[in-house]
């Protein structure tokens, strides 16, 4: 099973830039999208269906904002929309699909870059998300959590750790949260296989950042540690230039 996570920064914009052609070339088993920024009726979903995908959308109440999607070649046994918390669910931040004993989550963690109020919202979300996942593991222990976490974990994950030390997305308390999350039973699948620096999944539109590879690795496929022996490979696809993010992927030998 190959799972790809991709923050498309607007699915309609990504389609105009070649998303459907990219998907047809890639044809992963599951695609987790973030920042869809659309209601499903605004998107030509028949294209996904023609490629053999089932599509599931959890959009924000606010038009043109946030939103998560799961595309899957196999029909899930169950799809769960949201976390049961209106403050988060109104922003369309989490959707889960169950395939046999495996659950795949597409998640879009809040950004705190606009200032103190949203940074506080982000930190509250992180604590509630942590509790939600630990509770979920009691009934769905085999988890792949794919999405934009809006946090670089280690200095190796950001092009300039010194000057960004006090920037949202690389704050000490955010990085500590990722460490705690991993210690609670998850594997950063990319770092499980790739130890080298200079691998990123997001680049600013400013300062010619992408051609210069001045990026941040903020997109992850987190895999519950009980699936460690099923991990086959993981990687990043910087050649896909449909968004300010690029896709990140993981392959599992796990059977559903």
Q: Is 55 a catalytic residue?
A: no
- Write out the two tokens for 119: 């940074």
Check if the beta carbon of residue 95 is closer than 8 Å to that of residue 70.
yes
Annotated catalytic residue within 148, 157, 188, 219: 148
The alpha helices in the chain, defined as continuous H runs, are 11-16, 19-26, 46-50, 86-89, 116-136, 172-183, 189-193
Distance, CA of 29 to chain centre:
16
Helix (H, G, I), strand (E, B) or coil at 34: strand
Q: On the CB side of 230, how many CA atoms lie within 13 Å of its CA?
A: 19
Give the position of tokens 């799972």: 3
Residues recognised as catalytic: 148
């Amino acid at each position: 099973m190959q799972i790809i996570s991709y923050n498309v920064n607007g699915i309609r914009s990504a389609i105009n830039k070649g998303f459907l052609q990219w998907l047809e070339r890639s044809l992963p088993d599951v695609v987790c999208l973030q920042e869809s920024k659309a209601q499903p009726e605004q998107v030509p979903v028949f294209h996904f269906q023609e490629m053999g995908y089932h599509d599931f959308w959890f959009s924000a109440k606010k038009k043109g904002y946030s939103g998560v999607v799961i595309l899957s070649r196999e029909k899930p046994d169950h799809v769960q929309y949201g976390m049961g918390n209106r403050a988060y669910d109104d922003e369309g931040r989490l959707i889960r699909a169950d395939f046999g004993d495996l659950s795949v989550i597409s998640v879009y963690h809040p950004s705190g870059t606009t200032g103190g109020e949203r940074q506080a919202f982000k930190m509250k979300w992180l604590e509630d998300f942590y509790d939600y996942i630990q509770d979920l593991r009691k009934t769905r222990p085999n988890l792949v959590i794919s999405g934009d976490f809006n946090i670089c974990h280690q200095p190796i994950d950001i092009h300039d750790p010194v000057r960004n030390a006090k920037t949202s997305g690389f704050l000490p308390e955010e990085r500590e949260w990722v460490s705690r999350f991993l210690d609670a039973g998850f594997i950063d699948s990319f770092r499980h296989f790739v130890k080298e620096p200079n691998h990123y999944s997001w680049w600013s539109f400013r300062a010619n950042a992408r051609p210069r590879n001045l990026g941040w690795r903020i997109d992850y496929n987190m895999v519950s540690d009980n699936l460690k022996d099923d991990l086959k490979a993981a990687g990043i696809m910087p050649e896909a230039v449909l968004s300010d993010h690029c896709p990140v992927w993981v392959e599992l030998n796990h059977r559903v």
